Structure 1
Amino acid sequence: MTRVTFTILEEQRALLQQSIFRDESEYAALLLCGRSRSRDAWTSEEEERIVAREIIEVPESAFIKRSPVGLTWSTAPFYQAVKRAEPQNFAVAVIHSHPAGYLRFSSADDIADKETFEIAFNRLESDRPHLSLIMTPDGRLAGRAYGPNLKPRPVDMIRVMGCRWRFTYPEVNTETARPAFDRQVRAFGQQSTLDLSRLRIGVVGCGGTGSAVAALLARIGVRHLALFDTDFIDETNLNRLHYSTRTDANLRRLKVDVLGEAIAAIGLPISVARIPHHVEDIEARDALKSCDVVFGCTDDHLGRNVLNRLAHFYFIPIIDLGLLIDPRSDGGYDAFDGRVTVVQPGSPCQVCRGLIKSDIMLGEGLRRKDPAVYEQRRRAGYVADAADPSPVVVTFTTEVATMAVNELFQRLNVFRGANGAASERVRRFDEVKEADLLPSGKSRPGCKLCDRRRYDGRGDMDPFLDTAS
């Protein structure tokens, strides 16, 4: 069975709430939505991910009758939305208010939705679903999907992504956490631990920071983990890659295999998908699009660029990690910083922050696709030399990993308070006094990704993420 999910930004949800709660009677609006179809990395079932892209307000003149318990309206606004959606294979979501606060569909909703979506499927050849949503005055959402058979099915997960990340699924508030997490529940309550057990989380890069992040995620109750890395373990990894051994280095075992086996051996319930591919490879694409959150633990610009765009196209937040140790010849340091950046629409992207360089990205791509041509052009001075390995110490990569996982907790349970989220945190390890919260930076004027926001909620397109292959 296909899994259907819906993702919306908090800023979009707030605008919808303002639009459809005008008085004590029901009101409706429309959403034009991007789509993503992928095969789940853990269950192999298909996921149809529907991503809010554009709010279409419905004028009051389109409503024939509105009351606190129902409405009737012209089909013209929906028909026009379907016409706009068809050329790009977008989905249309119909959302209406329930002023009385009931978070369930009524029998009148059943009749109206069937008639409405029959219009779409009579016009379209696609069998991909559209959505019906309801919202209560406190902003809660419920949804169901309609396909060509016009039989509704509940949406399997609704994600609302902002300073706080909220996840709604059929079993929410009906389960209890396992006894193994009793101490964590005492600190943060049940819900964040239960959410972690539902989320699909990716870790891109399984070196010093990535192995620490993966180990921490397994310990806090994540049950669906995807590990992305092409590298083998060698002797230089043994001082910082958690769970690695001399035998692993001698056998040149894949990092994803060593880390995946060690996490499974902890004994907590978890399914680990091992993806021995670069994130820009087509073989990694389905697993990447299956994730609810991704930790970026790679220092290559090519991979970071894919994650940067993924956050905007699919509203999959990226928690990006970095460690910079820059020693001086006199024994001091020009920099000794750990960084955690949350990449999602509404915040400056990684290009605007200066964390992705196009010339370095070009060289990395050429070196992977055609090493001989890369070497020829490098000698001629057309591409930059590959950087020397950066200084790394396990205690600091592990502390940056802890910062990142704690940011995940903040987004789930706001333990620092409602205003405690930051799009970027930097910890200066060489200073006695920490400066943990820094300004979030600015988008560069004209940036298509984070200033003009052309790609928000775009979902699948060809070429993937609108990047040249």
Structure 2
Amino acid sequence: MIQLVFGPGDFERLRHDIWHTTLESAAILLCEPDKLGEDWRLAVREMHVVPDDQYEVRTAVSIRLNPTFGLPIEKKASLKGWSLVYCHTHPHQTASATFSPVDDNAEVALAEYANRRSPSVPHCALLFAKESHAARVLGSQEIVTVGQDDAGTDYDRQIRAFGSDGQVKLERLRVAVVGTGGTGSVVTQQLAYLGVRNFLLIDPDTVERTNLNRTVGATPRDIGNAKVAVAQRLIHSLRPDATVQSLVADVVDEAIAKELTAVDFIFCCTDSHASRHLINQVSYQYGIPAIDMGVAIDATGAAVRFAGHVKGLTAQEPCLWCLGQLDSRQVREEMMTVEQEKADPYFLGRSGVVQPAVISINSTVASAAVTMFLSIITGLDAPARYLVYDGNRQRLASVVAQKDPNCVFCGPNSAAGAGDTQPLPVRRNG
């Protein structure tokens, strides 16, 4: 079975925009394919209605498009491995929408062309009549079902908060979560609940017994399993159709760091200075928004002190170096390979201090981070980009911070915006 899935309101908008009362009209859709066993789910990502000046021929019963209209759309499908859906109308068809013999003949060559441009995925034809529609696999009689994404039902309550357009934006993002333990597992769970469907998970560690009190989704049976595997299972339990790439690796390694440059948003849920430095650099160098978060619990005194922070990293905001939140010595040491550590006479070894951790405190900070993410992506009215949590006073406060105009990491003379033209600060093994 092949299902063509529209975002909330998109199907009605397409019907409205493509329709002409007397002349045939056309559109080309770009769809992200997802293979589920023997079935396909084609999620509509772009809708391109043909403007009036792009028809070479247009009558009540036939159309021919200017080839230059479709070429960039078809090229994008080829590059991304996406499906093409060719839409047209029968403005005078009052009965059920039915493809004509002319349609049958035209689709043979069109199907051959589409399969050549973007092979291994299905391509479709969608027909609109006055009161109905029909869809099929391009060049065949195989029926394609047409529906609306379940965001219209599963996410109704949050759509009322930030709108259907915001929901569609969430579903189109590819989000990286670096560190899937304490705060990262909470972030991952909340993103899945919100409807994010494309994840990159990065964490080198496995589940230990001491992690079970704060890693959402982990059970005693997971001891020894990769943390990213637990997070992936959690996502699929909430969002079975989600795409998840899980990497049991350290983000500062060169090949893994490069993976981050292909996402739309990054959550930094790791406490190492090297990984936070790397994510800070990726964010500004590639223009990818990110959120850094952290929790600190001090149980050495008579009273336990606990606090946290959430920091948005975007072009307009000061970076972690501007705020003095990174230590260059720690970055240098954490970037070392084992061989470099042994060869460095100033390297004193890792401290290995076990830090306290409480799930409710992690969840408070992680929830604030996800709400900030919603503000950045959907426009939810929560403009603060730097939050400090004073746990003992139960206070979450917005902090105003200024960019350092001379910052070598995000300032005008830095690699900010340079993309692939500048190297990333990574650990190069070998």
TM bin (shorter chain)? 0.5 to 0.7
How far the C-alpha of 1:298 sits from its partner, in A, is: 0.5
Question: Which letter does structure 1 place at the counterpart of 2:367?
Answer: T
> Is structure 2 residue 362 aligned with structure 1 residue 421?
no
Where does residue 241 of structure 1 map in the other structure?
215
Where does residue 199 of structure 1 map in the other structure?
173
Q: Secondary structure at the match of 1:361?
A: helix
> Is structure 2 residue 359 aligned with structure 1 residue 394?
yes
Where does residue 465 of structure 1 map in the other structure?
424
Measure, in 1, the Cα distance between the counterparts of 2:295 and 2:378: 26
Q: Secondary structure at the match of 2:324?
A: coil
Where does residue 408 of structure 2 map in the other structure?
448
Where does residue 321 of structure 2 map in the other structure?
351
Measure, in 1, the Cα distance between the counterparts of 2:323 and 2:184: 22
Question: Which letter does structure 1 place at the counterpart of 2:177?
Answer: V
Structure 1, residues 99-130: CA drift from partner, whole Å, max 9, x if none?
xxxx999969xxxxxxxxxxxxxxxxxxxxxx
Unaligned runs of 5+ residues in structure 2 are: 1-31, 36-48, 55-67, 78-84, 86-146
Q: Secondary structure at the match of 1:303?
A: helix
> Is structure 2 residue 195 aligned with structure 1 residue 221?
yes
> Is structure 2 residue 355 aligned with structure 1 residue 409?
no
Question: Which letter does structure 2 place at the counterpart of 1:454?
Answer: S
Task: Tell me if the contact between 2:252 and 2:427 (Cα under 8 Å) persists in the aligned partners.
Answer: no
Structure 1 residues 200 and 190: CA distance shift in structure 2, 3 A: same
How far the C-alpha of 1:349 sits from its partner, in A, is: 1.4
Q: How many residues align?
A: 300
Where does residue 436 of structure 1 map in the other structure?
397
Question: Which letter does structure 1 place at the counterpart of 2:192?
Answer: A
Task: Tell me if the contact between 1:256 and 1:275 (Cα under 8 Å) persists in the aligned partners.
Answer: yes
Measure, in 2, the Cα distance between the counterparts of 1:265 and 1:429: 32
How far the C-alpha of 1:154 sits from its partner, in A, is: 8.1
Measure, in 2, the Cα distance between the counterparts of 1:355 and 1:154: 46
How far the C-alpha of 1:302 sits from its partner, in A, is: 1.1
Q: Secondary structure at the match of 1:460?
A: helix
Q: Secondary structure at the match of 1:189?
A: helix
How far the C-alpha of 1:206 sits from its partner, in A, is: 0.7
Q: Secondary structure at the match of 1:222?
A: coil
Task: Tell me if the contact between 1:226 and 1:272 (Cα under 8 Å) persists in the aligned partners.
Answer: yes
How far the C-alpha of 1:232 sits from its partner, in A, is: 0.6
Q: Secondary structure at the match of 1:430?
A: coil
How far the C-alpha of 1:375 sits from its partner, in A, is: 5.7
Unaligned runs of 5+ residues in structure 1 are: 1-39, 44-102, 109-145, 158-169
Q: Secondary structure at the match of 1:363?
A: helix
Where does residue 96 of structure 2 map in the other structure?
none
User: Of residues 338, 348, 356 in structure 2, which corresponds to 1:370?
Assistant: 338
How far the C-alpha of 1:152 sits from its partner, in A, is: 3.5
Where does residue 187 of structure 1 map in the other structure?
161
Structure 1 residues 269 and 453: CA distance shift in structure 2, 3 A: farther
Q: Which has the higher contact order (CA 8 A, sep 6+)?
A: 1
How far the C-alpha of 1:155 sits from its partner, in A, is: 9.6
Task: Tell me if the contact between 2:203 and 2:247 (Cα under 8 Å) persists in the aligned partners.
Answer: yes
> Is structure 2 residue 248 aligned with structure 1 residue 276?
yes
Question: Which letter does structure 2 place at the counterpart of 1:186?
Answer: R
Q: Secondary structure at the match of 1:450?
A: coil
Measure, in 1, the Cα distance between the counterparts of 2:222 and 2:241: 25
Question: Which letter does structure 2 place at the counterpart of 1:348?
Answer: P
233-242 or 383-392, larger mean C-alpha shift: 383-392
Task: Tell me if the contact between 1:346 and 1:450 (Cα under 8 Å) persists in the aligned partners.
Answer: no
Matches within 5 A, 1:46-85: none
Task: Tell me if the contact between 2:297 and 2:304 (Cα under 8 Å) persists in the aligned partners.
Answer: no
Task: Tell me if the contact between 2:282 and 2:288 (Cα under 8 Å) persists in the aligned partners.
Answer: yes
How far the C-alpha of 1:328 sits from its partner, in A, is: 4.7
Q: Secondary structure at the match of 1:244?
A: coil
How far the C-alpha of 1:421 sits from its partner, in A, is: 1.7
How far the C-alpha of 1:376 sits from its partner, in A, is: 7.0
Q: Secondary structure at the match of 1:319?
A: strand
Structure 1 residues 154 and 415: CA distance shift in structure 2, 3 A: farther
Structure 1 residues 302 and 182: CA distance shift in structure 2, 3 A: same
Task: Tell me if the contact between 1:175 and 1:194 (Cα under 8 Å) persists in the aligned partners.
Answer: no
Question: Which letter does structure 2 place at the counterpart of 1:304?
Answer: R
Measure, in 1, the Cα distance between the counterparts of 2:172 and 2:419: 22
Structure 1 residues 348 and 267: CA distance shift in structure 2, 3 A: closer
Structure 1 residues 156 and 427: CA distance shift in structure 2, 3 A: farther
Q: Secondary structure at the match of 1:322?
A: strand
How far the C-alpha of 1:467 sits from its partner, in A, is: 6.0
How far the C-alpha of 1:345 sits from its partner, in A, is: 1.7
257-266 or 300-309, larger mean C-alpha shift: 257-266
Question: Which letter does structure 2 place at the counterpart of 1:407?
Answer: M
The TM-score normalised by the length of structure 2 is 0.63
Structure 1 residues 104 and 297: CA distance shift in structure 2, 3 A: farther
Structure 1, residues 17-46: CA drift from partner, whole Å, max 9, x if none?
xxxxxxxxxxxxxxxxxxxxxxx9x99xxx
Structure 1 residues 187 and 155: CA distance shift in structure 2, 3 A: farther
How far the C-alpha of 1:277 sits from its partner, in A, is: 1.4
The TM-score normalised by the length of structure 1 is 0.58
Where does residue 263 of structure 2 map in the other structure?
291
How far the C-alpha of 1:341 sits from its partner, in A, is: 0.4
Question: Which letter does structure 2 place at the counterpart of 1:242?
Answer: V
